[in-house]
Structure 1
């Protein structure tokens, strides 16, 4: 049996001592214990091992007692800390505006109330430092807004300029890398699947970067491009067209935006305009795989397989590690009855991704058309092994069974 006060003390105090305060939020996040407690039958009320302390101050202020995080002040303006032993304790706080407080409090045997306030009288340089320390740089009333609103005198002017320049440069680089992920992914990624989270983060990063580079039109052009990609991913094609056209108004040579515009237009059955956008993207970046792949997809949809083939070969040459590109080339070569080429396409695709099941289904069809039944069965069996629950697995299984029955 344990008393509730003992459990609270253990979770909030002893754990931090035993782990050398590794759960300290200033170092590694917040430790939040949950201890199930049951009262023993006929047990009396637990005896307190310390006194409660009500700390009042600005809501959201993080409190530390004896260098141990005890919580944040609630919206009501108060945080209660239970079972604090009498005596002198170190008390510190991190305020929402970036200011900090370090001091001590002496407790007696009765419940105590402690009021804290942010330090007054801090000079502009200290206030700037506090905002930077809290990571509040381009947010409203953050370090950047504060720096532009202040008049720093004497040596403080150079110190403030160095502090804010270093912080902005570091933040700008981080935002640039986060936003560029959207562009780089479009140019050379071989990954497939949902990317909404990455696109949303990239658009938000460019939006914040605009605060640092208000005169750089390319930042807004890239933000609009990432937003347009997100709208396409969400199926909002008319909105994407408007967004991407606005991106191109800022940068008329932005090939990625042209290609994305072509995708949005094609989803709206505006094939002629989409083709023009794809061709413009291809002319701006002659060795980029995505525009010829998109043109080939249009031609395949219109049943012009021979016309699509050279574009697919280009796409594979420009991005040889793309599974979709290689699979499309294999598929079209098979439909055109280019047996030798299709076998080579399948071998290259399987070498790139041996577990890509659709490659074996296509290869089986190639061998079956060539009356190589043994190899066709081997390919179909491999497909079933790799994809036992795909939509067309039963069809492939039935096809293999039919071939076996007529051998």
Structure 2
């Protein structure tokens, strides 16, 4: 069965959801008392947008093992997608308490707290997510955003710059760096960063507004 689950995970990573479901379903048929198969099926269904069916699978896994941390994580991702952030937070906290202490769990718990407008509580989880996966540009960016919200401007600047090391086309990182340079009264640098944001995303309205504002400040 482990081989079936491994094959299913490989298909899922490749976006081959039907093949993944076939492998995981076979795994469940072979071992109906093992929660892993249900968790894997739920993960595929959630990725495919079948949220209610996914929740059923995660709950089935919890009926078999109420300490199945990955099932709580899976339920949390569905709640987060539905913008039920309090419920998502509770699920990610449960997953973390049960030992699922990877970068994704820390990140999603941090993001749930962030969306609940609790940046100070979100900060340590986003920091840990960035530590566990230094190459994750989005984790670095969200950590920078959280730091900026808490007025840790220099620390935020460092993480926005690190974001761009891993994703040189991250428009929001350029934009937020531009805001910091505008705050530091360096309109030329701010203008260039807003321009870079627009180059990465021509529809970035705030960057367009910021660039015009800086150009006015630089006008003789």
Q: TM-score, normalised by structure 2?
A: 0.84
Q: What SS does the aligned partner of 1:217 have?
A: coil
1:6-17 maps to which residues of 2 (within 5 A)? Answer: none
Match of 1:290 among 104, 111, 116: 104
More strand by share: 1
- 1:307 aligned partner: 121
Match of 2:140 among 326, 329, 333: 326
- 1:168 aligned partner: none
The reply to whether residue 397 of structure 1 matches residue 208 of structure 2 is yes
More helix by share: 2
Q: TM-score, normalised by structure 1?
A: 0.48
The reply to whether residue 217 of structure 1 matches residue 33 of structure 2 is yes
Are residues 227 and 175 of structure 1, via their aligned partners in 2, closer, same or farther at CA, if it must alter by over 3 Å? closer
Match of 1:208 among 7, 10, 26: 26
- 2:217 aligned partner: 406
Contact residue 70 and residue 100 of structure 2 kept, 8 A: no
Contact residue 5 and residue 37 of structure 2 kept, 8 A: no
Are residues 324 and 282 of structure 1, via their aligned partners in 2, closer, same or farther at CA, if it must alter by over 3 Å? same
> Deviation at 1:216?
6.6
CA RMSD of aligned residues (A): 2.6
- 1:91 aligned partner: none
Match of 1:348 among 147, 150, 162: 162
- Distance (whole Å) between structure 1 residues aligned to residue 70 and residue 33 of structure 2: 16
- Distance (whole Å) between structure 1 residues aligned to residue 18 and residue 110 of structure 2: 29
Match of 2:42 among 225, 228, 245: 228
> Deviation at 1:371?
1.8
Highest RCO, 1 vs 2 (Cα 8 Å, sep ≥ 6): 2
Structure 2 gap segments, 5+ residues each = none
Q: What SS does the aligned partner of 1:355 have?
A: coil
- Distance (whole Å) between structure 2 residues aligned to residue 321 and residue 286 of structure 1: 20
Deviations 1:118-146 (A, max 9, x none): xxxxxxxxxxxxxxxxxxxxxxxxxxxxx
> Deviation at 1:278?
0.8
Are residues 379 and 322 of structure 1, via their aligned partners in 2, closer, same or farther at CA, if it must alter by over 3 Å? same
> Deviation at 1:286?
5.4
Deviations 1:337-389 (A, max 9, x none): 2111011101211112223222111211122122222221121111122223x
Are residues 176 and 224 of structure 1, via their aligned partners in 2, closer, same or farther at CA, if it must alter by over 3 Å? closer
Are residues 216 and 228 of structure 1, via their aligned partners in 2, closer, same or farther at CA, if it must alter by over 3 Å? closer
The reply to whether residue 377 of structure 1 matches residue 191 of structure 2 is yes
More displaced stretch, 250-259 vs 366-375: 250-259
Q: What SS does the aligned partner of 1:320 have?
A: coil
Contact residue 364 and residue 375 of structure 1 kept, 8 A: yes
Match of 1:316 among 123, 130, 142: 130
